[in-house]
């Protein structure tokens, strides 16, 4: 288990649609442990496997704060099965350092997947957890939060970001 390098935009792995996980073997368990360690070290509240260069449908999430503890979530092959409402909120991403923007997302989601032991998991979420789940599942489809900006805002972002990170 180790802290992995977090891939940054415009790394092509972030644009790829990740493949479903088919086997919960030792290698995958090792990747999960390393992703958890990488997320906490960043520090971040969510991490998707493509962000560490693994094009697999796997995310880890922990929205705990010092004041409020939440369970660590490991979700394999997560799917959003239903959504409700819309809400705007500020968002950022470990793969797009130094940039945040207001993004419109569903207010409430129902997500299904399996945990690291292969047991079915169902999570009904609102607030920050709902937002993070949508953001991380987007990563599995090669979508970054900046892809959800208006074309004008995205162009502005691209110019500024690439100038700074060249
Ligand atoms: Ni992200």
* Residue 136 annotated among the catalytic residues of the structure: yes
Cα Rg of the chain, angstroms: 15
Are 78 and 140 in contact, with CB atoms under 8 Å apart?
yes
User: Tell me: the pLDDT tens digits for 82-128?
Assistant: 999 999 999 999 999 999 999 999 999 999 999 999 999 999 999 99
29's tokens: 């368990």
Q: What is the pTM of this model?
A: 0.96
Phi then psi dihedrals of residue 138, to 5 deg: -55, -45
Domain 12-164 part of CATH 1.20.120.80 = no
Cα(92) to ligand 1 centroid in Å equals 7
User: Tell me: the pLDDT tens digits for 129-155?
Assistant: 999 999 999 999 999 999 999 999 999
Question: Out of 67, 90, 136, 155, which one is annotated catalytic?
Answer: 136
24's tokens: 């919960």
Cα(52) to ligand 1 centroid in Å equals 11
Q: How many residues does the chain have?
A: 166
Structural domain boundaries in the chain: 12-164
């Amino acid at each position: 288990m180790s802290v992995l390098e977090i891939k940054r935009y415009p790394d092509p792995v972030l644009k790829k649609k990740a493949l479903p996980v088919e086997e919960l073997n030792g290698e995958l368990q090792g990747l999960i442990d390393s992703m958890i360690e990488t997320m906490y070290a960043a520090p971040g509240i969510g991490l998707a496997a493509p962000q560490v260069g693994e094009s697999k449908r796997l995310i880890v999430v922990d929205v705990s704060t010092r004041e409020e503890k939440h369970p660590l979530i490991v979700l394999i092959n997560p799917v959003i099965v239903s959504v409700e409402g819309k809400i705007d909120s500020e968002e950022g991403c470990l793969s797009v350092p130094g940039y945040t923007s207001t993004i419109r997302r569903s207010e409430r989601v129902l997500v299904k997947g399996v945990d690291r032991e292969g047991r079915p998991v169902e999570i009904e979420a609102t607030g920050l957890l709902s937002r993070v789940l949508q953001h991380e599942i987007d990563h599995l489809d090669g979508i970054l939060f900046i892809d959800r900006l208006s074309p004008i805002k995205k162009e502005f972002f691209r110019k500024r970001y690439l100038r700074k990170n060249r």
